[in-house]
Amino acid sequence: MSDFYDVLGVSRDASPEEIKRAYRKLARKLHPDVTSDPDAGDRFKEVSQAYETLSNPEKRAQYDRGGGQAGAAGFGQGFGFSDIMDAFFGGGGAGGGRGGGPASRTQRGQDALLRVDIDLSEAVFGGERTVQVETAVVCPTCQGSCCRPGTQPETCDICHGAGSVQRVVRSLLGQVMTAQPCPTCRGFGTVLPAPCLECSGEGRIRARRPLNVRIPAGVDTGTRIQLASQGEVGTAGGPPGDLYIEIRERQHPIFTRVGDDLHCTLEVPMTAAALGASMPLETLDGVDEIDVRGGAQPGETIVLRDRGVQHLRSAGRGDLVVTLDVRVPRDLDDEQVELLRRLAEIRGEVRPDAKLSPAHQGMFAKLRDRLSGR
């Protein structure tokens, strides 16, 4: 019969950590799945048996007193699957095994998402909004304890608070002891003798609550605002997750948003476009005066600086781009028709020459033509 200390290559006064390190080193070397040595299997079983005995304080004491081998060859009773994981990966096995401990009922809550519709003016200037949030909150009856008032969790009789139970399975390597979450307490190590009736033992309920939300200037459809710790409360009164407010901007009846610029169309009478005029324009900032130059053409644009949307991540605002729509009068009376005919005669436009231009001429092409005098 081999001496277990010699098998592991450690002294008789070796510490538990030294025994564990020696076993890991030998197991990685002798495991049948990683070596082709035909004698490795027998040696691996011997090393496993030595470690099973010397890693258990009671069995080690019995062995030191001359009690002989404390287990059969191979993986003896008490040799867990986590020991194999320790040998090859330096960590424990499945949750609930050695060193894992029972799971906590208290868990962080999930993040929540709420969509909020806003007007264009709120996107331009920002503002505040009170919204109704339906989410999980701490149970007011048990205050997150999950138990009825006057009761508390009790240690599980099956796993004795470990949160896991062990069972022996047979494999090609012998008997392996695995750890699984306790089916009685579901891995928590405790059971609820009298779960709270209001929350059914979860420590939280769903409820609606008002929440003040600050809308930053410059937000757009799809922008998400993160509100830390305003999401769902976790089980057993665990810390809440975050709440994300997703912005959806309503369409404005007058202004169209393009990035941080606003666009609109201003109807200009033909005479005002020909002679020039100063016209009032109702903007989001109030009434502005628009100077239409004489001879203004349909489709021309006038840019009002800093009348657009506030930049979300920098100072300043976008622009307001006003496109002129020159309106040709209809239903002229006889006097107006005569005046226009006289104007046409003066300008030599009674029978004007037709002038063709490319279809869908763009703004830059029109500007080029005006600058060149065409």
Binding region for Zn(2+): 139, 142, 156, 159, 182, 185, 196, 199
Contact yes or no for 224/244 (Cβ under 8 A): yes
Nearest 5°: phi and psi at 166? -110, 145
Q: CA Rg, the chain, in Å?
A: 41
Buried b / exposed e along 118-155 (16+ C-beta atoms within 10 A): bebebbbebeeeeeebebbbbbeebebbbbbeeeebee
For every residue of 205-251, DSSP letters joined together read EEEEEEEEEEE-TT--TT-EEEETT-SPPBGGGBPP--EEEEEEEPP
Would you list which residues are annotated within the binding site?
A: 139, 142, 156, 159, 182, 185, 196, 199
Query: 136: which strand partners?
Result: 206
Q: Which residues contact residue 212 at a Cβ distance below 8 angstroms, ignoring those fewer than 6 apart?
A: 128, 129, 130
For residues 56 and 278, give the distance between their C-alpha atoms in angstroms, rounded to a whole number.
97
Residue spans of beta strands (DSSP E) within the chain = 112-118, 127-138, 154-155, 164-171, 174-181, 190-191, 204-215, 224-227, 243-249, 256-258, 261-269, 277-283, 286-292, 301-304, 320-327
For residues 202 and 233, give the distance between their C-alpha atoms in angstroms, rounded to a whole number.
11
Place of tokens 């025994």: 19
Q: What is the DSSP letter of 344?
A: H
Nearest 5°: phi and psi at 138? -65, 135
Place of tokens 């290559």: 9
Supply 265's token pair: 């169309």
